[in-house]
Structure 1
Amino acid sequence: MDLKETRERIIYEKTGAIARITLNWPEKANAQDQKLAEEVDAALADADRDYDIKVLILKANGKGFCSGHAIGNNAVDYPAFVEGAKVMGTPWKPQSDLFVKPVLNLWEFAKPTIAQVHGYCVGGGTHYGLTTDIVIAAEDAYFQYPPLQGFGMPSGECSIEPWVFMNWRRASYYLYLNEVIDAHKALAVGLVNEVVPAINSMPGWRQSRGTSRRLR
């Protein structure tokens, strides 16, 4: 059954065999607050359960794809962190629930996944933009992981994409030097599959690869 729902932070659509999750908080650069992370994960779970869905596309509205974790007031952005700290003395459990398990759900999603990245894809946003099976980047896309400068050695959450898709020396350089990788360099080092002139050319890309007809 076709569906289009505009939720607080995302737009979730199902058209034929294709599910689309669109990050839709452009006024906050699609930052990953608790609400956005929960809505993305819930949409992933729904698309996984729906036998009619064969492919998932993840994209975003606004000037960029995703600016990463929300930085500001945890009481507003991450109420689960505050609750976890009160109950257990540390927010590690809700942090895992929001930013490790959902990333693994996308990484291990049982159906083909495609990320459609434009503009900034930085910090925690790279976990959405680079863990799909196929990544199509607009020419203005760029990738960066600033948290390493403040947090030290990459945690399990941030170690998936660079270490898997780039060789060890290249990934170390990218992470430790806080390198900005533009779309063409991302293609050269294996982070993305293709660079397109504009993100709205995605339908043309699908048709050129023969996927649109098969999945319609």
Structure 2
Amino acid sequence: MAYDFILLDITDKIATITLNRPKQLNALSEALLSEYVHALKTAEDDPNVRAVIVKGAGPGFCAGYDAAGGNGNYAPEDAADAAPFIDDKKNLDRMWGATATAWNLTKPVIAQVHGYCVAGGNDIAGQCDVIIAADNAIIQQPQVRRLGLSFNHMYPYKIGPQWSKILLLSGDPVSGKEAEQLGLVAMSVPEEELEAQVLKLAKRFTLIDPTMMATNKMAINRAYESMGLNQARETANTLDTVAHVAPIMQKFVQTAMTSGFKAALTENEAPFKADERPFKVPGG
């Protein structure tokens, strides 16, 4: 398959998938997500691949779903009439299925995060087995302020209820270094060392027998699933359909339709820019 929105390279038993829409900050269009899933499955089916790296081209990892381009969950031109709950839920489940492909692979997947990792970027990175971030990366779920939920919902499993609530009820960002302190990412390193560190870990994984890798990854995943991971996702997606018809979101959509998506974002973020973030991450 020829790809238009990603790059796939397989070298030395490592498949590297690069989200490749740098002018759009690698925003997740339906086409990109489809190619992403295909590339992951290609890596899964290739017996020579032992590990996978996911990264973004250009200045950031991923700026979220392609709302402005009309291919995302919140496309302004599609939002004049609220979709029936069932159609909205199907759409959310479909996106979850795409982002969760990495979770279900038998091979380890490492997210290499630099620059912005926002909204849908967290859905991609959060389903990878390991996240390594640049110290200065910006990790954020701003959609919780106006547009709904984080249906990925890996935060509670990674950082516990209190910090999950601080970040998912405020929509405030943390740096890669702060995310390391919280446990949101496995480690953070200076940006200039990021690629080398990710590659070093990926090479380490390639030394493991495929059967040992697959069975151990599956056992770890099942531990989290037995704690209700899939049920939490199902609940979040259902609640997200409720959030999508809230007056505050309808106001956002109306502004986006009449004045443009950037204007809606500016209006959305203005109250939060007036004051500094009211918390400090311990050790961050």
Equivalent position amino acid for 1:68 in 2: G
d(CA) in 1 for partners of 2:114 and 2:129?
A: 17
Deviation for aligned residue 1:197: 1.3
Question: Going by fraction, where is helix more abundant, 1 or 2?
Answer: 2
d(CA) in 2 for partners of 1:204 and 1:144?
A: 23
| Native 8 Å contact 2:132 2:194 kept in 1 | no
1:177 to 167, 170, 177: 170
Change (3 A) 1:28 1:196: same
2:119 to 123, 143, 151: 123
Correspondence 1:1-216 to 2 at 5 A: 7-74=3-70, 77=71, 90-97=87-94, 99-152=95-148, 154=149, 157-159=151-153, 161-199=154-192, 201-204=194-197, 206-207=199-200, 211=204, 214=207
d(CA) in 2 for partners of 1:137 and 1:167?
A: 20
Change (3 A) 1:90 1:205: closer
Change (3 A) 1:210 1:62: closer
SS of 1:71's partner is: coil
d(CA) in 1 for partners of 2:72 and 2:201?
A: 42
Equivalent position amino acid for 2:87 in 1: T
d(CA) in 1 for partners of 2:10 and 2:206?
A: 16
Deviation for aligned residue 1:143: 0.5
d(CA) in 2 for partners of 1:176 and 1:108?
A: 29
Deviation for aligned residue 1:113: 1.0
Deviation for aligned residue 1:108: 2.3
Compute the TM-score of the two structures, normalised by the length of structure 1.
0.82
Q: CA RMSD in A?
A: 2.9
Change (3 A) 1:60 1:90: same
d(CA) in 2 for partners of 1:136 and 1:47?
A: 20
SS of 1:164's partner is: helix
Overall identity of the aligned pairs, in %: 28
d(CA) in 2 for partners of 1:18 and 1:209?
A: 7
Deviation for aligned residue 1:106: 1.6
d(CA) in 2 for partners of 1:208 and 1:8?
A: 28
Show structure 2 runs of 5+ residues with no match.
Answer: 209-284
Deviation for aligned residue 1:66: 0.1
Displaced runs of 4 or more, over 6 A:
none
d(CA) in 1 for partners of 2:132 and 2:56?
A: 13
Show structure 1 runs of 5+ residues with no match.
Answer: none
Name the structure 1 match of 2:217: none
| Native 8 Å contact 2:65 2:72 kept in 1 | no
| Native 8 Å contact 2:135 2:189 kept in 1 | yes
Compute the TM-score of the two structures, normalised by the length of structure 2.
0.63
Deviation for aligned residue 1:189: 0.4
| Native 8 Å contact 2:132 2:185 kept in 1 | yes
Deviation for aligned residue 1:96: 2.4
Deviation for aligned residue 1:208: 7.8
Change (3 A) 1:133 1:52: same
